[in-house]
């Protein structure tokens, strides 16, 4: 992967998991990073461990104004914007379709879909000012297929794949590339939540069953997902636009 020297990247959902791994890796490759999450303390702490090219900021992606502020801060602090990693997401509740309440659907879509929409809207003027750029949206392998018991989450991840394809077609002529990162099961907090909700008290058994479906025989790591996200941000991916990129250990090959 080429380096990211001089690039300015904004990352949502940066307090842990894929977001934190991406922030740390981007910084190590020479980028300046604005790391955001709902609570300031975690992302401020991450930024402090990195250095003066990193900034932590509290952002609720469900709020349009917070997204606008996020980009304004990036531009004020670093003077340009080259990429946004719209990674914030929630898994919601696990259970049968007919038991999912209106509130459960709304909560998942507010973060996973509206959060992406608001992030793109906020970033576009700054990316246009830069003359090019990359938008990477975290979807999932379940944004490409179904999964029992995860209807709101799966539907939201399909939605952002559709949004990405529309954006890639619209923004490509301006030199702005848009792609999705589609992780398989990742060894992090979100999967622990899904496992435990799927079979309370037997999360380890669910984990083993999921891992058995992956040809590599294991979950992928946050760092493996981060590497793909940053490749898509880099100049090495200058011809890549409008596609889904699975980091799934071969899960979708079956």
How far is it, in rounded angstroms, from Cα 9 to Cα 31? Answer: 7
What secondary structure letter does DSSP report for 114?
A: I
Residue 253 has a CB neighbour count (10 Å cut-off) of 9
Task: Note whether 108 and 62 are within 8 A (CB).
Answer: no
What secondary structure letter does DSSP report for 53?
A: T
Tell which residue, 83, 243, 237, 229, has the closest CA to residue 179.
243
How far is it, in rounded angstroms, from Cα 185 to Cα 167? Answer: 26
Task: Note whether 113 and 159 are within 8 A (CB).
Answer: yes
How far is it, in rounded angstroms, from Cα 158 to Cα 176? Answer: 21
CA distances from 164 to 61, 107, 170, 181 (A): 17, 21, 10, 11
153 counts as catalytic: yes
How far is it, in rounded angstroms, from Cα 34 to Cα 54? Answer: 6
Tell which residue, 183, 141, 192, has the closest CA to residue 22.
183
Please identify which of the residues 27, 153, 219, 245 carries the catalytic annotation.
Answer: 153
Tell which residue, 4, 11, 197, has the closest CA to residue 104.
197
- Active-site residues, by number, are 153
């Amino acid at each position: 992967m080429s380096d990211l020297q001089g690039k300015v990247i904004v990352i949502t959902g940066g307090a842990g998991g894929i977001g934190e791994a991406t922030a740390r890796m981007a910084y190590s490759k020479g980028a300046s990073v604005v790391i955001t999450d709902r609570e300031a303390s975690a992302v401020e702490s991450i930024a402090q461990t990195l250095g003066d090219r990193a900034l932590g900021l509290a952002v609720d992606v469900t709020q349009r104004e917070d997204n606008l502020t996020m980009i304004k801060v990036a531009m004020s602090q670093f003077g340009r914007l080259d990429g946004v990693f719209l990674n914030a997401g929630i898994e919601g509740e696990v259970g049968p379709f007919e038991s999912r309440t209106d509130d459960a659907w709304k909560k998942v879509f507010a973060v996973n879909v509206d959060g992406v929409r608001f992030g793109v809207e906020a970033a576009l003027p700054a990316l246009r000012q830069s003359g090019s750029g990359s938008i990477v949206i975290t979807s999932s392998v379940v944004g490409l297929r179904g999964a029992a018991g995860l209807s709101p989450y799966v539907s939201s991840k399909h939605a952002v794949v559709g949004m990405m394809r529309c954006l890639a077609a619209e923004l490509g002529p301006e030199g702005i590339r848009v792609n999705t990162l589609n992780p398989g099961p990742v060894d992090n907090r979100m999967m622990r939540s899904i496992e435990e909700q799927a079979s309370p008290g037997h999360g380890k058994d669910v984990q083993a069953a999921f891992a058995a479906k992956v040809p590599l025989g294991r979950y992928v790591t946050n760092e493996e997902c981060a590497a793909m996200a940053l490749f898509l941000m880099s100049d090495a991916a200058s011809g890549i636009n409008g596609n889904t990129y699975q980091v799934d250990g071969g899960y979708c090959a079956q």
